[in-house]
Chains A and B, each alone.
Chain A
Amino acid sequence: MSFLSGFWLATMAAVTLIYWVLPARFRFLFLIGASALFLGYVDWLSLVTLSLMTVATILFTRTPSVSGIRTVAAISVIAAFFLGFKIISGPLDFLNAGDVLIPLGIGYYTLRCIHFVLERYKGQIGRFEPQNVLSYLFFVPTLFIGPIHRYPEFARDMRRNRWDSGTFQEGIERIIFGYIKIALLGNFLTVLFQDAGTTFFATRSASVVVYIEMVAIGLNLYFQFSGHSDIAIGFARLLGFRVMENFSWPYLKQNIGAFWRSWHISLTSWSREYVFAGVVAITRSPFLGTVSSLVAIGFWHEVSLRYLLWGLYHGLAVVVWQRFQTVKHRLPEIRSPLLRRFYAGFCVVLTVHFVWLGFLLVRQEGPMQMWQTLRTLLTGS
């Protein structure tokens, strides 16, 4: 689902207008209806899937306290939907169904459902009104591309919901900002840079061509993804909701740990809260926790060997960085301010290139193609 369409703009405008014209007691009901209608129109399969997942989520968590067995059962049902679609639509697709069968936004609402179930299990969410859960899971601004916002914050925003011209203005600004990122910085300037660079270096250096492709992929991913997040966050603000931020200058971070705390924040924090914390709670091993959480992020994108490798690539990098922190104090301290700035700049460049390389490699079909791309990048052959 691209937000770069007149249909989406018209939807945002109509939903916002009707939402604020309606009396307060009907607004959330209207949002549920509008989301369902829109989802059904755009992708009926997604509406059916989300509805079934929502029913499962509510039914399994209706008891005063949610037992471990109920939690496992609920997550199994939700995950079965998700993995089923992921497997048949990914490289392991035995039905050759391709993209046709994957429900829009399934990755996002799967994680929201699991979040709700686990928080009920942990007791952080008490008794709830099913209508509030419906509002949360059928929240049209974040349905397709996140952020994977959390129920307690959403429920709080429902309680605080009111017309506020300042918040509305922020929403408009955020949406414009998002469109600039997607259309101007991503679709136009990055593509222009890649085309021009590739044309110029095509006959001169295969290595530079691959490097330019890597940079372009990295930049475009950020502009597209953070631009769509901006629009989702902006749309939510038009409706009086403050949805969590998804990016915080990730390419300016000095280490891989900081990168993962600033890139797709709603996903990485989800993985830290549920995968990392869950694995650590059982095994008491931070190493396993870290690697598992990054591998889970990989599989969330696609259940495949290449995403397994991508998850391991980042997971091991974070572990190495964490271990490095424990011995860093033994290294000589850099005293010169100039050298310190240079060192900081070097760390940023190193981190961003490590990340971009990951994006480049995971685009390849398998380990052989990954190796070939890496070789071309480094040697030009």
Chain B
Amino acid sequence: MSASGDRLSEILNNGLQLGSGRKAAISGTSEMPYRVLVERIEQGRTLLDQHGIVEGDQVVILSEKDTEVTSLYLTCLAHGAVAVILDPQASVSELLVLISHSDPAMIFADSEIVERTRSLTQTEEARVIQVGAEAASKRTGFGLLLRQKAQQAGTMYPGILAGCGRTDRQTTATGSGQALILFTSGTTSTPKGVSISRDALATQMELLQRRFSVNADSRIVNHLPFHHSDGLNQGPLLSFVSGAEVIRPEAVNMQSVGDMLDLVYQRKATHLITVPTVLSMIDRLSSDYDDSFSDDAFQFIESTAGPLEPGLWTRIEARFGTRVVNCYGLTETVCEAMYCGPSDDSHRIGTIGKPDGFEVRLVDEAGDDVAAEEVGELWLRGPGMFSGYFGNEAATAEVFEGDWFRTGDLATCDADGFYRIAGRRKNLIIRASTNIYPDDLKDVALTFPAVTDATVVGIPDEMLGERVEMVVTLDHTDAAKGRLDLFEHLRAGLAAEKMPNEVTVVESLPYGPSGKVELAKVREMISRQSTQGEGSTIDDKVIAEAAAAFRSSAASLSASSTEASVEGWDSLAFLEFVMRLERRFDFRMAPRDVMRIRSVGDAIGIVSGHVGDRNGPVS
């Protein structure tokens, strides 16, 4: 059977043929072989047909389950529907705004989310299918020995597919030209849904396959969330169209980042797609992990979605003996637009490399091209560019100058053609590679009755890239209570990944002559407050005691410092450390706690727990 669909259909059909039956299409947190994935896509298309979903209809996918999001996304693409992937951790109010703005014809949502957002099920226009496991029917006696009928249809996805025949045909979809909508901002005001065409998606997949040498032998570890393009498109989609395997680790944090490297090692991964914050965590791991990328099959680490600090970059490459490919891209460019590597001629530490698949201009405020080495706003143009913000023509018009997309990032270009990010013109904070628009947070803060004014700024941070600091004024003097109540309010209105690191209450915000808040002065206010409070946190005090006990400088110690990393940490010095903590915090550590301490962080945890128990301030 020959395919006559568009380019995306062609590469999807290619993937259907490349992935052999028993091979895993996705593994890690949950596994699904190609055989099952292909079956789900074919049955899923029938399901969409049954519900009257036609090419160009929006289908919302809202799930924490990797295998389900993967199969639903690929089903939508094969069917020609427009997939709208939302953050399953978004707050109820955010979800309602985003779903309403997406105008979906159908919604697939985790049953827990449907439960949490009851009003989802009351959406009349859209049909809602819950995602999750069917409640198991009770079986007793001989029933235990009998296998459940494989084709018994359920009401939830994917169980519901059992009742659907397979649409046994190659995809010939052309859709409305659109394939995917991903939201980059939006809480209470008009959201920005990046609308990506099928052609742009196909262009970027072909480019990534070529650039990263992804093929049927590839095993890609990608831990990024699916509501971000780097997680979704450089994860299951790139793998599927290449006949490769995408490996999904558990959520990555300082405690679990080692497990992810173990997965890279055990599965003989070929690529790791990650972000600078996670590289910073990897940098802090012990030498036990040095062999993580040692397998001959491993090609490189891709660092994306945020600036990569040159020192960290150099250390990772030297320590693990592998290349780190730093990429620059935005949701608006679907995936990447600039690549620093993997080839030698495009690799220069400290830069974002050279463009591939896009044309680049650096432009001054007057719209003219800047001279070499001068700073200008980065403009991009290419077939991989997004189509516009869904249902938001004003926002679309704001970022396009003809067919050039104004990124809002400032950059320079050297004589060899390497680009370097020099700053940011747009109002955006990038924390742990998550884009956070200050206005989103400000909007929610201002809906809190006691808040009279608010602003949000990014403060440089070694691990996170930037910290999100909110500064507010309140209409009463009980700042401490107001701050706590505001945190609760923010938690209810914002996705977890958007929550500020700190909220500071001030008397008034500094406004300039133009009537805008002067952000530089706000940063100074925050800096002054943090300097006044230096050494006042439990972490600082425990580290100071560790420094005294182990005869080292506080600057060289951190929560991750252990016997292996601190030269003066022997059994006697350790005992001194414990006794110093007991004196300083006026308590006697239980033997269980003393034996538990293997790092300074353990001691911080124990002291914090104790101080918390006492419910009193720390002197």
Q: Do the beta carbons of A286 and B596 come within 8 Å of each other?
A: no
Q: Roughly how many angstroms separate A280 CA and B591 CA in the complex, as a whole number?
A: 8
Q: Do the beta carbons of B598 and A286 come within 8 Å of each other?
A: no
> Is B251 on the interface with A (CB-CB < 8 A)?
no
Q: Do the beta carbons of A280 and B592 come within 8 Å of each other?
A: no
Segment at the interface with A among B120-128, B203-211, B261-269, B301-309: B261-269
> Is B517 on the interface with A (CB-CB < 8 A)?
no
- A161 cross-chain contacts in B, Cβ below 8 A: 266
Of residues 116 through 141 on chain A, the ones whose CB sits less than 8 Å from some CB of chain B are 118, 121-124
Q: Do the beta carbons of A121 and B592 come within 8 Å of each other?
A: yes
Which of B266, B267, B589, B595 has most chain A Cβ within 10 Å? B595
Q: Do the beta carbons of A280 and B594 come within 8 Å of each other?
A: yes
Of residues 249 through 304 on chain A, the ones whose CB sits less than 8 Å from some CB of chain B are 272-274, 276-278, 280-282, 284, 286, 289
B53 to chain A, nearest CB (A): 39
Q: Which residue of A lies closest to B596 (CB)?
A: A122
Q: Which residue of B lies closest to A156 (CB)?
A: B262
Q: Do the beta carbons of B266 and A286 come within 8 Å of each other?
A: no
Chain A contact residue count (CB 8 A cutoff): 25
A307 to chain B, nearest CB (A): 23
Q: Do the beta carbons of A286 and B595 come within 8 Å of each other?
A: no
> Is A68 on the interface with B (CB-CB < 8 A)?
yes
Per a CB cutoff under 8 Å, which of A123, A276, A282 touches B571? A276
> Is A329 on the interface with B (CB-CB < 8 A)?
no
Of residues 578 through 593 on chain B, the ones whose CB sits less than 8 Å from some CB of chain A are 579, 589, 591-592
> Is A341 on the interface with B (CB-CB < 8 A)?
no
Q: Do the beta carbons of A286 and B259 come within 8 Å of each other?
A: no
B208 to chain A, nearest CB (A): 27
Which of A121, A162, A164, A281 has most chain B Cβ within 10 Å? A281
> Is B564 on the interface with A (CB-CB < 8 A)?
no
Q: Do the beta carbons of A277 and B262 come within 8 Å of each other?
A: no
Q: Do the beta carbons of A160 and B571 come within 8 Å of each other?
A: no
> Assuming the A-B contacts A286-B572, A289-B571, are A277 and B266 also in contact, with contact meaning beta carbons closer than 8 angstroms in the complex?
no
Q: Do the beta carbons of A160 and B265 come within 8 Å of each other?
A: yes
Of residues 492 through 550 on chain B, the ones whose CB sits less than 8 Å from some CB of chain A are none
> Is B575 on the interface with A (CB-CB < 8 A)?
yes
> Is A322 on the interface with B (CB-CB < 8 A)?
yes
Q: Which residue of A lies closest to B265 (CB)?
A: A160
Q: Do the beta carbons of B596 and A159 come within 8 Å of each other?
A: no
> Assuming the A-B contacts A118-B595, A282-B591, are A159 and B259 also in contact, with contact meaning beta carbons closer than 8 angstroms in the complex?
yes
B467 to chain A, nearest CB (A): 30
Q: Do the beta carbons of B575 and A280 come within 8 Å of each other?
A: yes
> Assuming the A-B contacts A159-B262, A160-B266, A162-B268, are A322 and B572 also in contact, with contact meaning beta carbons closer than 8 angstroms in the complex?
yes
Per a CB cutoff under 8 Å, which of A121, A124, A159 touches B266? A159
- B572 cross-chain contacts in A, Cβ below 8 A: 286, 322
Q: Roughly how many angstroms separate A131 CA and B263 CA in the complex, as a whole number?
A: 20
Q: Roughly how many angstroms separate A160 CA and B596 CA in the complex, as a whole number?
A: 25
- B259 cross-chain contacts in A, Cβ below 8 A: 159
Q: Roughly how many angstroms separate A121 CA and B594 CA in the complex, as a whole number?
A: 12
Encode B302-335 as 1/0 by CB contact (under 8 A) with A.
Answer: 0000000000000000000000000000000000
Q: Roughly how many angstroms separate A348 CA and B598 CA in the complex, as a whole number?
A: 31
- B592 cross-chain contacts in A, Cβ below 8 A: 68, 121-122, 281
Q: Do the beta carbons of B571 and A281 come within 8 Å of each other?
A: no
Q: Roughly how many angstroms separate A276 CA and B591 CA in the complex, as a whole number?
A: 12
Q: Do the beta carbons of B265 and A284 come within 8 Å of each other?
A: no
State the majority secondary structure of interface residues on B: helix
A339 to chain B, nearest CB (A): 26
Q: Do the beta carbons of A160 and B268 come within 8 Å of each other?
A: no
Q: Which residue of B lies closest to A163 (CB)?
A: B268
Q: Do the beta carbons of A284 and B595 come within 8 Å of each other?
A: no
Q: Roughly how many angstroms separate A272 CA and B598 CA in the complex, as a whole number?
A: 13
A33 to chain B, nearest CB (A): 23
- B571 cross-chain contacts in A, Cβ below 8 A: 272, 276-277, 280, 286, 289
- B591 cross-chain contacts in A, Cβ below 8 A: 278, 281-282
Q: Roughly how many angstroms separate A255 CA and B471 CA in the complex, as a whole number?
A: 59
> Assuming the A-B contacts A121-B592, A162-B268, A281-B595, are A286 and B575 also in contact, with contact meaning beta carbons closer than 8 angstroms in the complex?
yes
Per a CB cutoff under 8 Å, which of A122, A160, A284, A289 touches B262? A160
- A282 cross-chain contacts in B, Cβ below 8 A: 591
- A164 cross-chain contacts in B, Cβ below 8 A: 295
- A272 cross-chain contacts in B, Cβ below 8 A: 571
> Assuming the A-B contacts A159-B259, A276-B571, A286-B575, are A281 and B266 also in contact, with contact meaning beta carbons closer than 8 angstroms in the complex?
no
Per a CB cutoff under 8 Å, which of A156, A162, A278, A322 touches B595? A278
Q: Roughly how many angstroms separate A277 CA and B563 CA in the complex, as a whole number?
A: 14
Q: Roughly how many angstroms separate A281 CA and B259 CA in the complex, as a whole number?
A: 31
> Assuming the A-B contacts A272-B571, A282-B591, are A123 and B596 also in contact, with contact meaning beta carbons closer than 8 angstroms in the complex?
yes
A244 to chain B, nearest CB (A): 11
Q: Which residue of A lies closest to B590 (CB)?
A: A281
A63 to chain B, nearest CB (A): 15
Of residues 157 through 213 on chain A, the ones whose CB sits less than 8 Å from some CB of chain B are 159-162, 164
A57 to chain B, nearest CB (A): 18
Q: Roughly how many angstroms separate A162 CA and B262 CA in the complex, as a whole number?
A: 11
> Assuming the A-B contacts A68-B592, A123-B596, A278-B595, are A162 and B265 also in contact, with contact meaning beta carbons closer than 8 angstroms in the complex?
yes
Q: Roughly how many angstroms separate A277 CA and B268 CA in the complex, as a whole number?
A: 39
Encode B173-201 as 1/0 by CB contact (under 8 A) with A.
Answer: 00000000000000000000000000000
B454 to chain A, nearest CB (A): 40
A291 to chain B, nearest CB (A): 13
Encode B378-421 as 1/0 by CB contact (under 8 A) with A.
Answer: 00000000000000000000000000000000000000000000
Q: Do the beta carbons of A277 and B594 come within 8 Å of each other?
A: yes
A163 to chain B, nearest CB (A): 9
Q: Which residue of B lies closest to A71 (CB)?
A: B592
- B598 cross-chain contacts in A, Cβ below 8 A: 124
Q: Roughly how many angstroms separate A375 CA and B589 CA in the complex, as a whole number?
A: 48
Encode B243-274 as 1/0 by CB contact (under 8 A) with A.
Answer: 00000000000000011001101111000000
Q: Roughly how many angstroms separate A276 CA and B595 CA in the complex, as a whole number?
A: 10
A148 to chain B, nearest CB (A): 17
Which of A121, A124, A284 has most chain B Cβ within 10 Å? A284
Q: Which residue of A lies closest to B264 (CB)?
A: A160
> Assuming the A-B contacts A68-B592, A123-B596, A124-B598, are A162 and B575 also in contact, with contact meaning beta carbons closer than 8 angstroms in the complex?
no
- B589 cross-chain contacts in A, Cβ below 8 A: 281
B293 to chain A, nearest CB (A): 13
Q: Roughly how many angstroms separate A124 CA and B595 CA in the complex, as a whole number?
A: 10
Q: Roughly how many angstroms separate A284 CA and B577 CA in the complex, as a whole number?
A: 12
- A280 cross-chain contacts in B, Cβ below 8 A: 571, 575, 594
- A276 cross-chain contacts in B, Cβ below 8 A: 571
Q: Roughly how many angstroms separate A278 CA and B571 CA in the complex, as a whole number?
A: 12
Q: Roughly how many angstroms separate A156 CA and B572 CA in the complex, as a whole number?
A: 30
Q: Roughly how many angstroms separate A273 CA and B295 CA in the complex, as a whole number?
A: 34
Q: Roughly how many angstroms separate A209 CA and B266 CA in the complex, as a whole number?
A: 55
Q: Which residue of B lies closest to A153 (CB)?
A: B288
B236 to chain A, nearest CB (A): 23
A219 to chain B, nearest CB (A): 30
B157 to chain A, nearest CB (A): 28
A23 to chain B, nearest CB (A): 12
B600 to chain A, nearest CB (A): 16
Q: Roughly how many angstroms separate A281 CA and B594 CA in the complex, as a whole number?
A: 6
- B575 cross-chain contacts in A, Cβ below 8 A: 280, 284, 286
- A121 cross-chain contacts in B, Cβ below 8 A: 592
Per a CB cutoff under 8 Å, which of A124, A274, A289 touches B596? A124
- A123 cross-chain contacts in B, Cβ below 8 A: 596
> Assuming the A-B contacts A280-B575, A284-B575, are A162 and B594 also in contact, with contact meaning beta carbons closer than 8 angstroms in the complex?
no
- Known contacts A281-B591, A284-B579; can you find 12 more A-B pairs with CB under 8 A? A156-B262, A159-B259, A159-B263, A160-B265, A162-B265, A162-B268, A274-B595, A277-B594, A280-B594, A286-B572, A286-B575, A322-B572
The 3 closest A-B pairs by CB, nearest first: A281-B594, A281-B591, A122-B596
Q: List 17 A-B contacts (CB under 8 A).
A: A68-B592, A123-B596, A159-B259, A159-B263, A159-B266, A160-B262, A160-B265, A160-B266, A162-B265, A162-B266, A276-B571, A277-B571, A278-B591, A281-B592, A284-B575, A284-B579, A286-B572
